[in-house]
Amino acid sequence: MTSSGSTVLDFTPAPGAAPFPRMVLAQAGAEVRAMLRNGEQLLLTLIIPVLLLVGFSVAPLIDVGGRRVDFLVPGVLALAVMSTAFTGQAIATGFERRYGVLKRLGATPLSRAGLMLAKTAAVVAVEVIQAIVIVGVGLALGWRPHGSFLSAALLVVLGTAAFSGLGLLMAGTLRAEATLAGANLVYLVLLGAGGVVFPLSKFPEGVRPVLEALPISALTGGLRSVLAEGAALPLGPPAVLAAWAVLSLGLVSRTFRWE
């Protein structure tokens, strides 16, 4: 108070970290913007899945035993999840580790746990964008979904956890160049052998059990059962995805190197 009774405002700085949720959201927003501005990331996350969906739906390149678009949309949705949660995240995180970005961010008030939470939130946000675009293109091509979207969402969540674990496992243990080559190679192999655009029934019977145990096959098969066939949530695909998630994330917690 002054002598005249007026109030004196105190402008003394009060430094301190922002609330944890705000820091996580800010970092997640930065991660999403970085993904969408990166040409290679955009190619993996949106352009390639949409081109595959349109190309294989319009051109009679494969015999799927029914309407091609009904077969392809669930597979392309699964591919989109893999491209973001596994391939894109592995490459980006691998180079962030190489250039010391992870080490610096981990030393900020955000903390390493907050950084991983922000990365997870960014992956989910990009997957929502992918789903909107792919479903929109599928509807334009004549696709009509069946079954429970809640069951489909559960499969996507489990698939995201499984692929994120595998991507972080690769990024946290290999050199950045090896992660780049390995992630792209795995993407191409799983695209061809995971039931995305080619039915697993086209492969020799001896290798089908192995292919069906892959996370991309489980996610593709589960989404196809729910969205294309209108079936109840099958037990096999969620179990396979949960097993991959537990195994990969458990290994990440033990082996991930921040620098």
Per-residue pLDDT of 125-144, as tens digits, reads: 999 999 999 999 999 999 99
pLDDT greater at residue 233 or residue 157: 157
Tokens describing residue 199: 């039915």
**For residue 227, pLDDT beyond 50:** yes
Tokens describing residue 27: 């970092």
Segment 235-242 shows an average pLDDT of: 95
**For residue 10, pLDDT beyond 60:** no
Segment 194-206 shows an average pLDDT of: 89
What does the radius of gyration of the chain's CA atoms come to, in whole angstroms? 22
Residues 251/198, Cβ–Cβ less than 8 Å? no
Segment 149-177 shows an average pLDDT of: 94
Give 78-129 pLDDT, tens digit per residue. 999 999 999 999 999 999 888 888 888 767 777 777 888 888 899 999 999 9
**For residue 8, pLDDT beyond 70:** no
pLDDT at 17: 63
Indicate the angle between helix axes 149-171 and 111-140, nearest 10 degrees: 130
Residue from 102, 79, 88 nearest 192 by CA: 79
pLDDT bucket at 1, cuts 50 / 70 / 90: very low
Tell me the C-alpha distance between 148 and 159, whole Å. Answer: 17
* Sole residue written with tokens 């391939």: 87
Residues 82/216, Cβ–Cβ less than 8 Å? yes
pTM of the shown model? 0.87
pLDDT greater at residue 34 or residue 237: 237
Give 18-48 pLDDT, tens digit per residue. 787 888 888 888 888 888 787 778 888 889 9
pLDDT at 16: 58
pLDDT greater at residue 258 or residue 55: 55
Q: How far from chain centre, in Å, is Cα 106?
A: 22
